[in-house]
Structure 1
Amino acid sequence: MPYITTSDGTEIYYTEQGTGRPVILSHGWPLSSDAWQVELKLLADAGYRAIAHDRRGHGRSSQTYSGNDMDTYAKDLAELVEALDLTDIVLIGHSTGGGEVVRYAAQYGVGRVSKIFTAGAVPPIMLKSDSNPEGTPIEALDAIREGVLKDRSQYYKDLSVAFYGANREGATVSQGAKDDFWRQGMAVGLAAAYDCVKAFSETDFTEDLEALTVPVFIAQGDADQIVPIAAAALKSIHLVKDGTLKVYPGAPHGIYGAYQDELDQDILKFVGE
């Protein structure tokens, strides 16, 4: 399996399929590059070099105790890009991965990144505050940490329901999809899973979004139960210079079902423009 070793000795796993213009996909919490299997094939079939990595602490990458923060995630991605010597890159990030690609692009990607696509992404900032009343209360984030610490296996099973919107009337989410969410979640080191909650919820990406000069496609479902759309996509679109916003009616946070079909077509169109 392909790995790079970062400057602090962390092994980052990545997978790639196809040849052509590079497209890098960054996964959400608590998943891994496995979450992008469908998109990897679709992009490779369309003539692109599709690359997805496991964030440190997640999947097959090193089970790190330190560095589980957004600055380090972005630096890890920069080292992967440099190791593979990639240019003219399209970045795609879901949820936490949306934050990672935005920070990477703003701080490391000038001259390498040509486009960015985010879906259900955490920028500009997820945490509720006086200046961000639409955000997620700290009590809800503390509950995530408590669930991960006390019984992460059951917690991931429970979380998969809201993640994919399986609790909504008329939802048809397979048991297999929920099981795969659990499988990927159980591969995350406990320290990394715990620390990443702070990374995805309390990092302020406002300046990163404002620094972007490349086209940015911002996608989010209006039935997202994980990342509040009013604190995320609906604010991010006003911070980027060259942005396109698409809201998917009834779509959940997790990329699945009819939402995945439509999102994937939008990805292919955006990458090909």
Structure 2
Amino acid sequence: MPFYDSPVDGARLHYVDHGPTTGPVAVFVSSAYLGYEMWEYQMLPLAEAGYRCVALDRRGHGRSEDTWLGYDLDTLADDLQGLLDHLDLRGVTLIGHSVGTAEVVRCLTRHGTARVDRVALVSGVSPGIVRSPGVPDGIDPALVRADEAAFRRDRAGWFTASADDFFAVGLPGIEVTEAYTRYLIDRCLVATPRAALGIRAVVASLDLTAELPGVAVPVLVVHGTHDTSAPLALTGERIARMVPDGTLKVYENAGHGLFATHAERLTEDLREFLDAASADSGLAQAA
């Protein structure tokens, strides 16, 4: 089972490395509470098709070490950069979901693009969803505090009550089984209470409005029309406008969990994006 040590504090972090060791490289960064397993409908078919697919369990999630400290965005971004350095990856396409998009953006603005060629931000909470000077139309912080109180009282109940909205159940074309929903909730509960609350704190204070214009690589933004966790107008549309080279793809009737409900479409869009990175690399080498 592959692990590496965080460059920040030596925390033992788990990752997976699927597919060939050559060719296009995709590095997946997961949503809050979830580990690499959330990407099974993307990583497995892409790896089978010849793409190298790497994914990280952030600290306190999945099989990674449970630490008390290190849930600030800078440390999480440093952990991600540490994985790229550990595997000596280059020409990478970073793919983040939800709060994972913030880790991706901070990794780029903090460490540069020497190892990264492209970025895909899926259902992102970036640039921020809670009201702040940079996000004046965000969610009322009082509502966020009340939601956290409910989360602290009963995490299992909170995940169960949120599941239908997460997947946009009831909208045309949305199919997700009760068994899969239960499985994903169980995986969310693997994240330690400390880690879960630490990630919630990142989201509550997130404001990347000053950083997104500095993301100097092509960015694919994928977002659903019915994402209640990260409303499209507040996040996906803003990201696509703020980065220098952004492409927005909107999935009709999709919620936050489109990696499952729109799995084949997302996988195909990521494949196309990875192929474009390979084409760009070939042109650069020829030049």
TM class, shorter-length: over 0.9
Answering whether residue 110 of structure 2 is matched by residue 107 of structure 1, we say: yes
The answer on whether the counterparts of 2:77 and 2:104 sit within 8 Å (CA) in structure 1 is yes
Q: Which amino acid aligns with 2:213?
A: E
Q: Which amino acid aligns with 1:4?
A: Y
Q: CA deviation at 1:187?
A: 0.5
Aligned to 2:5: 5
User: Equivalent residue of 2:121, what SS?
Assistant: strand
Aligned to 2:223: 220
Aligned to 2:282: none
User: Equivalent residue of 1:59, what SS?
Assistant: coil
Question: Which of residues 230, 234, 238 is equivalent to 1:231?
Answer: 234
Answering whether residue 59 of structure 2 is matched by residue 56 of structure 1, we say: yes
Q: CA-to-partner distance for each residue in 1:11-55, whole Å, 9 max, x for gaps?
A: 111011012222100000121111011211122122111001111
Aligned to 1:181: 184
Q: CA deviation at 1:268?
A: 0.6
Written as runs of structure 1 = structure 2, the 5 A alignment for 1:197-216 is: 197-216=200-219
User: Equivalent residue of 2:13, what SS?
Assistant: strand
Q: Partners of 1:131 and 1:206 in 2: how far apart?
A: 6
User: Equivalent residue of 1:135, what SS?
Assistant: coil
Q: Partners of 1:83 and 1:126 in 2: how far apart?
A: 32
Q: Partners of 1:94 and 1:64 in 2: how far apart?
A: 22
Q: Which amino acid aligns with 1:210?
A: P
Q: Which amino acid aligns with 2:4?
A: I
Answering whether residue 43 of structure 2 is matched by residue 40 of structure 1, we say: yes
Please report the RMSD computed on the Cα atoms of aligned residues, expressed in angstroms: 1.7
Q: Residues 160, 75 of structure 1: CA spacing in aligned structure 2 closer, same or farther, 3 A cutoff? A: same
The answer on whether the counterparts of 1:141 and 1:197 sit within 8 Å (CA) in structure 2 is no
The answer on whether the counterparts of 2:42 and 2:263 sit within 8 Å (CA) in structure 1 is no
Which consecutive residues of structure 1, in runs of 5 or more, have no partner in the other structure?
Answer: none
The answer on whether the counterparts of 2:168 and 2:253 sit within 8 Å (CA) in structure 1 is no
Q: Residues 154, 38 of structure 1: CA spacing in aligned structure 2 closer, same or farther, 3 A cutoff? A: same
Q: CA deviation at 1:222?
A: 0.8
Aligned to 1:137: 140
Q: CA deviation at 1:228?
A: 1.5
The answer on whether the counterparts of 1:122 and 1:201 sit within 8 Å (CA) in structure 2 is no
Which consecutive residues of structure 2, in runs of 5 or more, have no partner in the other structure?
Answer: 277-287
Aligned to 1:246: 249
Q: CA deviation at 1:145?
A: 1.8
Q: Partners of 2:172 and 2:88 in 1: how far apart?
A: 47
Q: CA deviation at 1:173?
A: 2.3
Question: Which of residues 83, 95, 100 is equivalent to 2:98?
Answer: 95
Q: Residues 241, 131 of structure 1: CA spacing in aligned structure 2 closer, same or farther, 3 A cutoff? A: closer
Q: Partners of 2:114 and 2:259 in 1: how far apart?
A: 33
Written as runs of structure 1 = structure 2, the 5 A alignment for 1:125-164 is: 125-129=128-132, 132-164=135-167
Aligned to 1:86: 89
Q: Residues 170, 255 of structure 1: CA spacing in aligned structure 2 closer, same or farther, 3 A cutoff? A: closer
Q: CA deviation at 1:171?
A: 4.2
Q: Partners of 2:110 and 2:146 in 1: how far apart?
A: 32
Q: Partners of 2:257 and 2:137 in 1: how far apart?
A: 20
Q: Partners of 1:55 and 1:219 in 2: how far apart?
A: 22
Aligned to 1:264: 267
Aligned pair count? Answer: 273
Q: Report which stretch shifted further, 114-123 or 200-209.
A: 200-209
The answer on whether the counterparts of 2:175 and 2:261 sit within 8 Å (CA) in structure 1 is no
Q: Partners of 2:158 and 2:60 in 1: how far apart?
A: 18
Q: CA deviation at 1:250?
A: 0.9
Q: Percent same amino acid at aligned positions? A: 31
